[in-house]
Amino acid sequence: MPAVNTGSKVLLTGGTGFLGAWVLKNLLEEGFSVRAAVRSEAKASVLKEQFSQYINRLEFVYIDDLTTPGIFDKAVADVEGIIHCASPLGGSDPDLDPQRLIGPAVDGTLSILRSAINSTNVKRVVVTSSVTTAWQAVPKYTPIVYNENDWNEQAVELVKAKGKEAPPFIKYAASKVLAEQAAWNFMKENNPNFDLVTILPGYVWGKILGGTAADIKGSNARLLNLLKSSTLANRTPEAMKAEWPIVDARDVSSHHVQALTAENAGGERLLSVAATISTQDAINLINANPIEGIVLPQSETLGDWIPNAEIANEKIQKVLEVTFRPVADTVRETVVGAIEAGWKQ
């Protein structure tokens, strides 16, 4: 199917989030007009101030509950493309009912697709999925490489078996698996006049666009917590060997926009992961190019350490004709950006 035309109007959900804000920035810089779905005028005000130079191409639609049937009908009426970034974050609450993640993730995705099918203008929908839909973050005796043909059915089965007792990370992974599968099943069952692309980001690291240290969450917060002086003082060998399949926020946000415009991207799952590194690798990279005010242990090697799993990224590089930034740049940008936002080690 024809790809979305550069400069056309795009509906974006999740624009107030970390990744969504980067996607919004990319869309506006590439000349698109954007209708951002936000929960309130207060949320819109933040984006209006942040992207004031593009205010003539930025508008808002107020949607409190993405799962409400028909809630997107008017919002999609005159757009060519949709980027659906919004999805509930997992958090760390061990007692969280997994349905509080799974329900909104699945129903929110289906809600936007059902509205899109009634529009004659929509050409493509890009949905933010996750590396966790393909990658099973469990120890393996033999390292393996995950690609776009893999599905993390293990997470879904664990949540079915354990419910609230499943680890928080597994609950989140299950919600992303089921939401993405629901999207592909919808496409198969309804054969709409638009096509679908799903982007599967790794741990997204990078500078937050606006806000303070209190606004640093998700993957960034996990890295920064490991670099805290108190954490490093009690570090374990296992923590230093923790695996991070990462991607730069600047890269993966650009991938979302390119997925709109690349004609051959339609109907594809695309893993967006630059590399898999260890916590020790991150420390070594910072030590190689020190950051003022950051004190870390000496660089070390982990002997014959190799990740339990690698994430293939050849497909996205071929389909979208992209490359990834050096991991060292991503790690540095994340920490420097956090310091600028007020984070202290």
Mean pLDDT of 232-250: 91
Confidence at 303, pLDDT banded by 50, 70, 90: low
Mean pLDDT of 35-42: 96
* Residue 43 pLDDT greater than 60, yes or no: yes
The pairing of beta strand 275-278 with beta strand 243-248: antiparallel
C-alpha radius of gyration, the chain, whole number? 20
* Residue 260 pLDDT greater than 70, yes or no: yes
| pLDDT value of residue 140 | 56
Find out whether 325 and 250 touch, Cβ atoms under 8 Å.
yes
Answer positive or negative: Cα dihedral of 89, 155, 186, 262: positive
Q: How many residues does the chain have?
A: 345
Answer positive or negative: Cα dihedral of 28, 38, 1, 179: positive
Known catalytic residue at 217: no
Give DSSP secondary structure letters for 177-221.
HHHHHHHHHHHHHH--SSEEEEEEE-EEES--SSS-GGG--HHHH
Per residue, what are the HEC states of 132-172? HHCCCCCCCCCCEEECCCCCCHHHHHHHHHHHHHCCHHHHH
Rounded Cα distance, 160 and 174, in Å: 9
Catalytic residue among 176, 228, 315, 344: 176
* Residue 1 pLDDT greater than 70, yes or no: no
Rounded Cα distance, 262 and 320, in Å: 6
| pLDDT value of residue 264 | 96
Confidence at 142, pLDDT banded by 50, 70, 90: low
Q: Which structural domains are found in the chain, ordered by start?
A: 9-210+246-275+313-326 (3.40.50.720)
Reported as a single tens digit per residue, the pLDDT across 78-134 is 999 999 999 888 767 788 899 999 999 999 999 999 999 999 999 999 999 999 999
Find out whether 306 and 272 touch, Cβ atoms under 8 Å.
no
Rounded Cα distance, 66 and 107, in Å: 8
Residue 281 structure tokens: 């690798």
Closest Cα partner for 231 from 297, 312, 305, 316? 297
* Residue 296 pLDDT greater than 60, yes or no: yes
Mean pLDDT of 199-212: 96
| pLDDT value of residue 308 | 77
| pLDDT value of residue 138 | 62
| pLDDT value of residue 247 | 99
In whole numbers, what is the pLDDT of the chain averaged over residues? 94
* Residue 301 pLDDT greater than 90, yes or no: no
Say how far residue 326 (Cα) sits from the centre of its chain: 19
Find out whether 133 and 126 touch, Cβ atoms under 8 Å.
no
